[in-house]
Amino acid sequence: MEKIVLPDIENLHLIDVYEKHGGFTAVKKAFSQTTDEIIDQVKKSGLRGRGGAAFSAGLKWSFMPKTTDKPKYLCVNGDESEPGSFKDRQIFEFNPHQLIEGILITCYTIGAKTAYIYIRGEYHKWIKLMQKALDDAYAKGYVGEKMKETFGIDFFCNIYIHKGAGAYICGEESSLMNSIEGKRGYPRVKPPFPAQNGLWGNPTTINNVETITNIPKIIEKGWEWFAAIGEPKHPGTILFGVSGHVNKPGIYELPSGTLLTDIIYNYAGGVPGNKKILCVIPGGSSMPPLRGDQLEGVKMDAESLKTVGSAIGTGGIMVMDEDTDLVKVLARIAHFYHHESCGQCTPCREGTGWMEKVLQRILRSEGSISDIDLLISIANNIEGNTICALGEAAAWPVRYMVTRFRDYFEARVSKEISLPVANKVHSMRQTAIPIDDVKY
């Protein structure tokens, strides 16, 4: 199978090597076509976003208004703050020029003169590597005003790297734009959507790093070639980041629809000590987990995972063996989302903290049987009641982990435990009442 995003070519990060292997020929081909023709090709290719939502890339591009006096912008989302996801930094390190070429094609197509590559602030190494690649592309005349001479066209665009401050919320597209503008990373209420009102109130398109890196190959080899790879409804290759209890953790570029069990056992080397799998989170920590005894036949693509009650997310596969303490895992995940909630929405701000407290109580062997339903109730009240998807990101792991592993959680709580009620009137503070009598 041909790798699209991370081909096995030594020193491909060097611009001379990239040129020798056909680099920057796709952008020349794109410049000879109309923008409508390029959008049509990307739509027909079936390319879907690789940042989590799996939305049609070509359809998103088509939302950009064609007739406007306002400047247009492209934001490339390399925040990569989802626990379990570590794919985009591989592109920054090993194939940065294909990303740059994809940005040039995208900017030309949507009419943007400025593009920002938003990279999380902790990625010091990868920021430096990406900046070096960008500097080399500028020096060769592939980016900036020299493009007019290099390609013999009227169009040019500039690309800037913007360092984030390490906030998970800035992986959400509107928070990302606020961050670039120098504001606090708060999500914006939609509508209006970024294509109408984005950076500084101007039309803006936001795509993930991996999504953009696919574009040059689609233009070079044709949409039919890309559409024939993997699952028809979610074609192409996907960078799967496998971590946890596997012998060979790492990034594997495979066709969409590859069996989850094949990825774990044939590519990632199986589970150490041949232990059984207790749980797998298939797309990063915010995606609904799957039971280890229900993995047979599960395919890794958006539509297939939807049928088994999960989602592809960022393709971060987290494997947990039979000795894993799921309460500890879930408490750690809940702590992360509590810490990273921006606090703008009450259900998320309060609910994430409440879930963490209940899980910590269970972890201390102080949980009651009613805590299990309480966790599900809190998660249900967060989901769908927030401005952005961080509410779902926090609620799904808790709701689905507790629901799908209820037997495991019931074994960790007690029916005999009574808890003091902290907000009782003064005269009752020294008393304790049975947990069943506590009204939530």
pLDDT given for residue 348 in this prediction: 96
pLDDT given for residue 431 in this prediction: 57
pLDDT given for residue 67 in this prediction: 86
Q: To which H or E segment does residue 242 belong? A: strand 237-244
Residue 5 lies in a domain: no
| Structural domains counted in the chain | 3
The Cα–Cα gap between 241 and 89 comes to 11
Q: Does residue 183 sit in the same domain as residue 294?
A: no
Residue 337 lies in a domain: yes
Residue 276 lies in a domain: yes
Nearest CA among 213, 254, 262 for reference residue 235: 254
CATH number for position 268: 3.10.20.600
Residues 405, 328 contacting (CB under 8 angstroms): no
Residue 270 lies in a domain: yes
pLDDT given for residue 290 in this prediction: 97
Q: Does residue 89 sit in the same domain as residue 147?
A: yes
pLDDT given for residue 2 in this prediction: 84
For residue 261, the enclosing domain spans 233-321
Residue 433 lies in a domain: no
CATH number for position 350: 1.20.1440.230
Q: Does residue 353 sit in the same domain as residue 218?
A: no
Residue 435 lies in a domain: no
Residues 393, 368 contacting (CB under 8 angstroms): no
CATH number for position 102: 3.40.50.11540
Residue 48 lies in a domain: yes
- In the Cβ-directed half-sphere of 116, how many Cα atoms lie within 13 Å? 23
Q: In the chain, how long is the greatest CA-to-CA distance? A: 84
Q: Does residue 32 sit in the same domain as residue 172?
A: yes
The Cα–Cα gap between 181 and 164 comes to 11
Q: Does residue 113 sit in the same domain as residue 181?
A: yes
Q: Does residue 115 sit in the same domain as residue 161?
A: yes
Q: Does residue 207 sit in the same domain as residue 113?
A: yes
Q: Does residue 188 sit in the same domain as residue 99?
A: yes
Low-confidence ranges of the chain (pLDDT < 70): 417-440
Residue with tokens 């693509």: 301
> Count of CB atoms within 10 A of residue 215's CB?
30
Q: What is the DSSP letter of 273?
A: G
Q: Does residue 332 sit in the same domain as residue 294?
A: no
Residue 423 lies in a domain: no
Q: Does residue 358 sit in the same domain as residue 307?
A: no
Final residue belonging to a domain, choices 191, 208, 228: 228
pLDDT given for residue 414 in this prediction: 82
Q: Does residue 265 sit in the same domain as residue 356?
A: no
Final residue belonging to a domain, choices 292, 321, 350: 321
Residues 223, 241 contacting (CB under 8 angstroms): no
pLDDT given for residue 419 in this prediction: 61
Q: What is the pTM of this model?
A: 0.92
Q: Does residue 96 sit in the same domain as residue 139?
A: yes
Phi/psi-derived region of residue 231, left when phi > 0, alpha when psi is between -120 and 50, beta in every other case: beta
pLDDT given for residue 15 in this prediction: 98
